[in-house]
Amino acid sequence: MAARQMRLGLIQMAVHEDKLENVKKAVSLIKKAAEKGSSLIVLPECFNSPYGLKYFPKYAESIHQGDTAKALSTAAKENKIYLVGGSIPENDNGELYNTCTVWDPSGNLLCTHRKVHLFDIDIPGGIKFKESEVLKPGKKLTTFNIGPWKIGLGICYDIRFAEMAKLYCKDGCNLLIYPGAFNMTTGPLHWELLQKSRAVDNELYVAAVSPAQDASAEYVAYGHTMAIDPWGKILSSASFGEEIVYADIDLSVVEKMRQQIPLISQRRTDLYDTVLKD
């Protein structure tokens, strides 16, 4: 495909308690997605670790020197693809983060994104979770480029914050990627809705990548990895199990929608605006 077109490979993989096996599986699925023509491949949130407060300290490792990062760098280089490494628990001098890495086809680390909005919620009869008991929040928004594509990153709960997506749109993004692990309380209600909202509000593509569901886990993920186009159309979607979702995206779709419904130029910035603070 030309640079203005790109095939996404979104890996909804099963994650268990053996870190080495999780990473080995991720590498195998990356190779499979690359063989199907994917030039940008995305892993899910916490792909090398079960999702849970007690697991974060046990599985955390250095982004720059850890075995997971080395495996991702090698996988990107061997398959000659761009790789969004979902997220892993990061240990940075004793402080823990939920961190996404991005690798280029030469195996170089392009950027990292630390989850900005920590998942602290309490839904009676549903779910209670407080990431801030263990994790620190990230302090910046993160973008990277693949030719004419500018891509903004978020992790899971970040997708709920429309201002963050708007700032990415203002910065010229035409694709947003969210590795995430919504649960069985919020997932059926909000997972698809939020992706469509971020896509239509900002007239860009959105891809959100979940682990496969493990009904025996303490935290049961909703799955349903999917890709949404700027019109809010689902391009492709998984169900609950392990699966690779493919989506062919085209920059002209973004451009045409922004011409036909010119939201960006019609914003009344004399009355309101969304501003990134230093």
Q: Residue 61: what are its φ and ψ, rounded to 5°?
A: -150, 170
Torsion region of 37: left, alpha or beta (phi above 0 gives left; psi -120 to 50 gives alpha)? left
Give the DSSP per-residue string, 74-93.
HHHHHHT-EEE---EEEEET
In angstroms, how far is CA 123 from the centroid of its own chain?
Answer: 24
pLDDT tens readout for residues 232-244: 999 999 999 999 9
Could you read off the pLDDT of 139-171 as tens digits, one per residue? 999 999 999 999 999 999 999 999 999 999 999
Nearest to 33, CA basis, from 228, 236, 233? 236
Average pLDDT in the chain: 96
Superfamily in which the 9-265 domain is placed by CATH? Carbon-nitrogen hydrolase (3.60.110.10)
- What's the confidence (pLDDT) of residue 175? 98
Domain boundaries, the chain: 9-265
Three-class DSSP category at 231: coil
The pTM of the whole model exceeds 0.85: yes
List residues with catalytic annotation: 45, 115, 156
Q: What residues does 224 pair with on adjacent strands?
A: none
Residue given tokens 């896509």 in the structure block: 199
Is the predicted pLDDT of residue 79 greater than 90, yes or no?
A: yes
Task: Spell out the alpha helix ranges (H) of 182-250.
Answer: 192-202
Residue pLDDT, tens place only, 96-138 = 999 999 999 999 999 999 999 999 989 898 888 999 999 999 9
Whole-angstrom distance, CA of residue 18 vs CA of residue 28: 15
The secondary element (H helix, E strand) that includes residue 191 is: none
